[in-house]
Each structure stands twice: as structure tokens, then as C-alpha cells.
Structure 1
Amino acid sequence: MVDRSNPFEDIERFFERMNRSFGDVPMAPGLHDVAVDVAETDDEIVVTADLPGFEREEITISLSGRDLTIEAEREEHAEETDEDEGGEVRYVRRERSHRQLSRTVRLPAAVVEDSATAEYRNGVLTVTLPRETAETDDDSHTIDID
């Protein structure tokens, strides 16, 4: 019988190499649910993220050096009651859910943190980060959403 390598181990090694190549920051399992596009020009870097169902107040954006982190968190509650003609409750349904998303992307170049802007419209977050000409310190900076 021929010895074969485990194909799942090969796939896992492939993804590890890809993460190292692209420089994504590792994350907790199950929180990598934010679809992100990163585009760059000579003057700026634009990060677009899909966050449907969230309100502006539920989204936090932070920047530390070249790592941009987008987090969104919300709690939802639903309750449904059905009564018969005599006023007795026949059916009650209660649902509670907690939804949390997080994504950290490594920016392709240094940016001017104080000049970063963000806009949230129709479930799409757009973060615009002007490019920097020289590296600065790695202190974290929070970006307000318009």
C-alpha cells in the first residue's frame, strides 16, 4: 500500500503560507466574517467592508500602524405570543441572538491616521486613508464614522 499524505494537512499548510504571504493578522475562530476590499492609489488607500444589518453606532474602526481593525457587535431580541379566543397563551416564542464580527487587515502602506475618514451607507462601510510619505509611531487611533 502506498503512503499518502493527509490532504487536509496539505490544505492547512497552504492556507498558513497564504496568510503569511498576504500579511493578514490572525483572528479568533468564527470572527472572520467581514468581506473586505482594499484598493490603493498613489494618494490613498480605500477599504470597503460589507456590514449589512448593523447600525453606525454598533461599528468600531481602529488603526494601529498599518493594521486596520473593523468590529461590529449587536444584540437582537424577538418575542412572539399567540393567544386563543379565551385569552390563554397557546404559543410563545422568544429568540435572543448576539452577533459579533471582526476583521483586521494589513494595509499595503503607511497612512496618515489623523486624516482617515469613514462613511457607512446601506450596509457598506468605506474607510479612506491618505497615504503617508514616511513611517510614524505605532500608536492606536480610532476613526469616527460619518
Structure 2
Amino acid sequence: MRGNPFDEFENVLDRLSQQVEQGMGGGLQVPGSVPVDVVDTGEEYVVTADLPGYETDDIELTLSDGTLRLEASKAESEEHYEGQYVRRERSKTTANRRIRLPEPVEEDSVSAGYENGVLTVRLPKVGGGEESKEIDIE
């Protein structure tokens, strides 16, 4: 005897729903976005972002209204070779991410560092203002 077709359809929907949930929780990457980790240490938030291939001057960080805005842009590769390209994927790239912080942070004490393609931003908790503040990367 053949099963109810609606039961099979419901099973397919359940499997699809599980796959979407796993993808969202497992770091589903949106093109042009930057993968980040945000850790609450109790005293500060530490944001770590992967930005391989960028220089410090290519990255802009801004903190405004409790949101950290990260934008990175690099120009097309300057390397030119004689001949015709068979494949060219290294063109101008941009990446961005906005991270809403759960609590206010002390904007004057925010620091950022960039090493080996990894950006680390430290945002001490407490305080905060309404103005936008650009963050220098060391």
C-alpha cells in the first residue's frame, strides 16, 4: 500500500527546514560579507573578522549608535603579464559587515589591530554616545 503523499511532502519540508537552520547557525556566508566572531568577555566585546589580502589602509571601521560598521575595499590587481587572460578572478573586491552590539561601549577606549589577514576590534563595555566615531587600526 502506498503512503500518504502529504506525509512525504511534510518530511521533505522538515529536512529542508533543518538544513536551513544548520546553515544559518553554521556560518552561512552572504557574498560580499565578512565572516566575524563576536565574544563577550564580560568587560568588553571582542570582534574578530577575516579579511585576507587587504591592507590596513583598505579597511574602514566606524562605530555609531551601538553598531560597528566594517568596510573593506581593494583595487584590482596591478600585476600585468604579456598575453591574454584565460581566467581573471582577482578584480576589485569589497566586503562589509554591520554588527549591532547588545550593550553600549566606551567609544573612546575602542581599539583595533590587524595581523595576518585577521582584524581584531576590542570594545570595552559601558558608556557610549550618539556620535559616530572612526576607529584607527594599529
Q: What TM-score results when the alignment is normalised by the length of structure 1? A: 0.69
Which structure 2 segments of 5+ residues have no match?
Answer: 25-29
More helix as a share of residues: 2
- 2-structure distance, mates of 1:41, 1:111: 13
Match runs of 1:1-16 below 5 Å: none
Which structure 1 segments of 5+ residues have no match?
Answer: 19-28, 82-90
Match of 2:64 in 1: 64
- 1-structure distance, mates of 2:130, 2:117: 30
Match of 1:129 in 2: 123
Match of 1:139 in 2: 131
- The offset of 1:92, in angstroms, is 3.0
CA contact (8 A) 2:107 2:129 kept: no
- 2-structure distance, mates of 1:30, 1:43: 32
Aligned residues: 123
Match runs of 1:33-44 below 5 Å: 34-44=34-44
Match of 2:27 in 1: none
- 2-structure distance, mates of 1:109, 1:2: 49
1:126 maps to a residue whose letter is: T
Q: 1:109 aligns with which of 86, 91, 103?
A: 103
CA contact (8 A) 1:75 1:99 kept: yes
Q: Does 1:98 pair with 2:84?
A: no
Give me the CA root mean square deviation: 2.8
More strand as a share of residues: 1
- 2-structure distance, mates of 1:53, 1:112: 30
Q: What TM-score results when the alignment is normalised by the length of structure 2? A: 0.72
Identity %: 41
